[in-house]
């Protein structure tokens, strides 16, 4: 190993140096090193601090050339490379080299990233966020027997008996990125399923911390199948104003999801909401008023004078056939708006 650990500065040509770097990491892989040993050997080779960060676990290893843990705060990063496993970026490797980069830094980081991906895959379950949709479907299906569900969870890398929460997601963002953002610590798995994405995790961040461009329904920790059913129901109630919603927050509103679509569509109040839905301004005004229950608070949300909102609500009330400023009228509007959203899924 010492013979391979020549300093990059001592290598007499780029080609010869690249060959030696490749041979160095081939030797490390044959010796089945772990992440700390990989970082330690790389720091000795590079003659500067080497860092390895794994997104899914939040683990960061920084090693100085003498083989010890690098001091904090870290130096500025001189060069970086992504760690990719199964076409998913699972982490980053970097060098903290003072001064100008070495001509072989790019080669070293490329081989270090490949070696790290191999090590991460070798030790323990696969650490990628994206999972086999068939396994995830086994976990969340109500028709799966418990033995098959337990086996699927084990193959996904979740410890036996760990409470899990399901999240139903609609987004144009990469599902693996969303999974990591929703559950930055602990195991998390994501897969596309039917008309939405499913994310399985022990814990998720608060709805207000969800990334923009994500609609999400969050199930309770009541078994994966039950949690997934709840998550899909909560997703149907989300809106632009409330893009992420816990099922528990729905309360009795969740009962609306069990009403046949034909009955909802034929309801006069829901039909009236559908009639005004083509006007975004009207829909936004009604949504703000139903969300706050107060003319003045709705005006604050809409950044309008309360008299302007009052005029809009009076016009909307006539169009809907509902006295919006009365308690009964407000309740009718809230239920009609929630039921109308269910029609759009």
Q: pLDDT tens, 262-293?
A: 898 999 999 999 999 889 899 999 999 998 88
Mean pLDDT in residue range 326-331: 92
Confidence tier at 244 by pLDDT (50, 70, 90): very high
| Domain span holding position 63 | 8-122
CATH number at residue 103: 3.30.450.40
- Predicted local confidence at residue 11, as pLDDT: 47
| Domain match, 22 and 95 both | yes
Whether 124 has a pLDDT exceeding 60, the answer reads no
| Domain match, 90 and 178 both | no
- Structural domain ending residue among the three candidates 122, 148, 166: 122
- Structural domain ending residue among the three candidates 122, 157, 175: 122
Domain assignment present for residue 328? The answer is yes
Q: pTM here?
A: 0.62
| Domain match, 138 and 245 both | yes
- Predicted local confidence at residue 241, as pLDDT: 86
The 10s digit of each residue's pLDDT in 1-20 is 444 445 555 545 567 778 88
11-17's contacts with Cβ under 8 Å and 24+ in sequence apart are 11/104, 14/103, 14/104, 17/103, 17/104, 17/107
| Domain match, 170 and 227 both | yes
* DSSP 8-state class, residue 255: G
pLDDT over 70 percentage in the chain:
92
Domain assignment present for residue 127? The answer is no
Whether 88 has a pLDDT exceeding 80, the answer reads no
Whether 27 has a pLDDT exceeding 50, the answer reads yes
- Structural domain ending residue among the three candidates 122, 142, 175: 122
| Domain match, 282 and 330 both | yes
Bond preceding residue 73 cis, omega within 30 of 0: yes
Q: Give the integer Cα–Cα distance in Å for 246 and 293.
A: 21
Domain assignment present for residue 2? The answer is no
Domain assignment present for residue 1? The answer is no
The 10s digit of each residue's pLDDT in 223-243 is 999 999 999 999 999 988 889
Radius of gyration (Cα) for the chain, nearest Å? Answer: 27
Q: State the CB neighbour count (10 A cutoff) for residue 45.
A: 24
Residue with more model confidence, 99 or 206: 206
| Domain match, 219 and 318 both | no
């Amino acid at each position: 190993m010492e013979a391979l650990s020549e300093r990059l500065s001592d290598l007499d040509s780029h080609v010869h140096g690249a060959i030696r770097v490749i041979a160095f990491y081939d030797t490390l892989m044959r010796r089945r090193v772990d992440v700390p040993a990989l970082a330690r050997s790389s720091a000795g080779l590079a003659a500067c601090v080497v860092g390895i960060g794994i997104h899914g676990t939040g683990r960061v290893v920084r090693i100085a050339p003498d083989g010890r843990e690098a001091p904090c705060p870290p130096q500025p990063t001189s060069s970086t490379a992504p760690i990719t496993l199964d076409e998913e970026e699972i982490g980053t490797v970097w060098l903290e080299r003072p001064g100008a980069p070495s001509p072989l830094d790019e080669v070293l980081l490329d081989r270090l990233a490949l070696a790290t991906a191999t090590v991460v895959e070798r030790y323990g379950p696969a650490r990628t966020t994206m999972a086999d949709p068939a396994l995830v479907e086994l976990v969340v299906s109500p028709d799966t027997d418990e033995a098959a569900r337990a086996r699927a969870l084990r193959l996904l890398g979740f410890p036996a008996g760990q409470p899990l929460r399901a999240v139903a997601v609609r987004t144009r963002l990469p599902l693996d990125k969303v999974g990591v953002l929703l559950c930055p610590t602990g195991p998390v798995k994501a897969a596309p399923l039917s008309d939405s994405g499913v994310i399985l995790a022990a814990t998720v961040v608060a709805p207000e911390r969800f990334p923009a461009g994500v609609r999400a329904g969050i199930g309770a920790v009541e078994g994966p199948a039950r949690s997934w059913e709840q998550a899909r129901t909560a997703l149907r109630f989300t809106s632009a104003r409330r893009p992420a919603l816990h099922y528990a927050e729905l309360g009795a509103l969740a009962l609306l999801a069990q009403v046949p679509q034909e009955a909802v569509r034929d309801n006069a109040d829901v039909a009236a909401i559908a009639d005004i839905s083509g006007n975004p301004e009207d829909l936004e005004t009604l949504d703000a008023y139903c969300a706050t229950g107060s003319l003045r608070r709705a005006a604050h949300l809409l950044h309008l004078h309360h008299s302007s909102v009052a005029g809009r609500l009076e016009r909307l009330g006539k169009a809907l056939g509902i006295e919006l400023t009365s308690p009964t009228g407000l309740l009718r509007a809230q239920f009609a708006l929630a039921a109308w959203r269910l029609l759009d899924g």
